Homo-oligomer: A and B are copies of this chain.
Amino acid sequence: MTTVEAKPTRQLSYVAAVSEAFAQLMREDPDIFLAGEDVALGGSVFGVSRGLLKEFGPERVIDTPISESGIIGLGLGAAATGLRPIVDIMFMDFMGVCMDEIVNQVAKMKYMFGGKAKLPLTIHTMAGGGGSMAAQHSQSLEAWFCHVPGLKVVMPSGPYEAKGLMVAAVRDDNPVIVINNKVSLRMQADVPEELYEIELGRAHVVRPGTNFTIVAIGRMVPESLKAAEMLAADGLDVEVIDPRTLQPFDTATVVESVRKTHRALVAHEAVRFGGIGAEIAAQIQEEAFDYLDAPVGRVGAPFSPVPFSPPLEKEYIPDAGRVAAEVRRILGKQV
């Protein structure tokens, strides 16, 4: 598959980038439909499908009952019989309600059937905290799905990535979980007007640097860029890598960076214990052990559910300050 990373042309918000991807993909391929709770008449509670019902009609933009297992099954059965569905699970926190369908059916059908199935299914969802939505509407659960063979997982960090990764996800002939971020929805960036793909499985060096590698997931990319600026003031030249796809994971790009910088940390919004940062840290020390001058650090949420109260939530969710502090701690340790 060739990746066309087209030239930026205008500013677009993250939310508009997602809905533009949906619309352009649906214009291109009549086998694509979008189904989920309140995606049609309501345009999704996040606005990601606004305007689609009007353009594509109720046959292709479908409001479903509140039945997440049914929704995933709808997508799976349709994908297995020749369509290219996009199904929406409103909040990532609701994935537990349809976990069996995703993990035991969607992910395994191809393998269990000896390869016969082709499953071009995209599961779109929204993750992340920051809006005082408390313990059941704020989680980042990507680690669960990265552990499941048969699934691909992407976590766009901004509008450009949101569009390009969505296009790649929908065009991919495998089940892909696209995890967008609520708080990022209003973020603006240059986004090409045409349909472009960002290749799945390829990390992007967002900011090149020589002294330290930060592997940042999703919303932690802009936060880590801020952290890098803060650290630049200290005279530190930090490289920031956005893996973009978590499964399959682009180990090579990360390892290459660490071999150059000799120090690294992984930053994500998810709970630190058992997060994808653990896997990435484990891989870095496996592949770049002799190059490491310090242990690979991890920044993630502490070990509690997401609290409601704003000051607690602020304390809970990692940000640029915490990332920068962890970089300093790792460097200090080394001294």
Residue ranges of A at the interface with B (Cβ–Cβ < 8 Å):
93-97, 99-104, 107-108, 111-112, 134-136, 141, 143-144, 146-150, 247, 249, 270-271, 273-279, 281-282, 285-287, 289, 292, 294-298, 303-305, 307
- Given A282-B282, A285-B295, A286-B295, the answer on whether A136 and B274 have CB atoms closer than 8 Å is no
Bound form: Cα–Cα A138–B129 in Å: 34
Residues of chain B with a CB closer than 8 A to A99's CB: 95-97, 99-100
Residues of chain B with a CB closer than 8 A to A296's CB: 282, 285-286
Residues of chain B with a CB closer than 8 A to A294's CB: 289
A97 (CB) vs chain B CBs: closest residue? B100
Contact A274 B271 (CB under 8 A): no
Bound form: Cα–Cα A333–B93 in Å: 42
Contact A143 B147 (CB under 8 A): yes
Bound form: Cα–Cα A41–B285 in Å: 51
Copies in the complex: 2
Residues of chain B with a CB closer than 8 A to A146's CB: 273-274
Bound form: Cα–Cα A247–B281 in Å: 20
Contact B136 A104 (CB under 8 A): yes
Bound form: Cα–Cα A278–B279 in Å: 5
Residues of chain B with a CB closer than 8 A to A298's CB: 282, 286
Give 24 A-B contacts (CB < 8 Å), ordered by A residue.
A95-B99, A96-B99, A96-B104, A97-B100, A108-B135, A111-B304, A111-B305, A112-B305, A143-B143, A146-B274, A147-B274, A149-B271, A150-B305, A249-B273, A274-B278, A278-B278, A278-B279, A278-B282, A281-B285, A282-B298, A285-B285, A285-B296, A286-B298, A289-B294
User: Which are the 6 A-B pairs with shortest beta-carbon distances?
Assistant: A147-B274, A96-B100, A99-B99, A96-B99, A289-B295, A281-B282
Contact A279 B289 (CB under 8 A): no
Bound form: Cα–Cα A42–B107 in Å: 32
Bound form: Cα–Cα A277–B286 in Å: 12
Give chain B nearest CB distance to A141 CB in angstroms: 8
Contact B147 A135 (CB under 8 A): no
Residues of chain B with a CB closer than 8 A to A304's CB: 111, 149-150
Bound form: Cα–Cα A254–B111 in Å: 37
Contact B286 A282 (CB under 8 A): no
Residues of chain B with a CB closer than 8 A to A147's CB: 141, 143-144, 270-271, 273-275
Give chain B nearest CB distance to A273 CB in angstroms: 6
A286 (CB) vs chain B CBs: closest residue? B295
Give chain B nearest CB distance to A277 CB in angstroms: 7
Give chain B nearest CB distance to A65 CB in angstroms: 17
Residues of chain B with a CB closer than 8 A to A305's CB: 107-108, 111-112, 149-150
Other-chain residue from B95, B108, B279 in contact with A273 (beta carbon distance below 8 A): B279
Bound form: Cα–Cα A134–B114 in Å: 12
Give chain B nearest CB distance to A83 CB in angstroms: 23
Residues of chain B with a CB closer than 8 A to A247's CB: 273
Bound form: Cα–Cα A136–B296 in Å: 35
Give chain B nearest CB distance to A178 CB in angstroms: 18
Bound form: Cα–Cα A297–B286 in Å: 7
Residues of chain B with a CB closer than 8 A to A94's CB: 100
Give chain B nearest CB distance to A214 CB in angstroms: 16
- Given A135-B108, A144-B147, the answer on whether A279 and B274 have CB atoms closer than 8 Å is yes
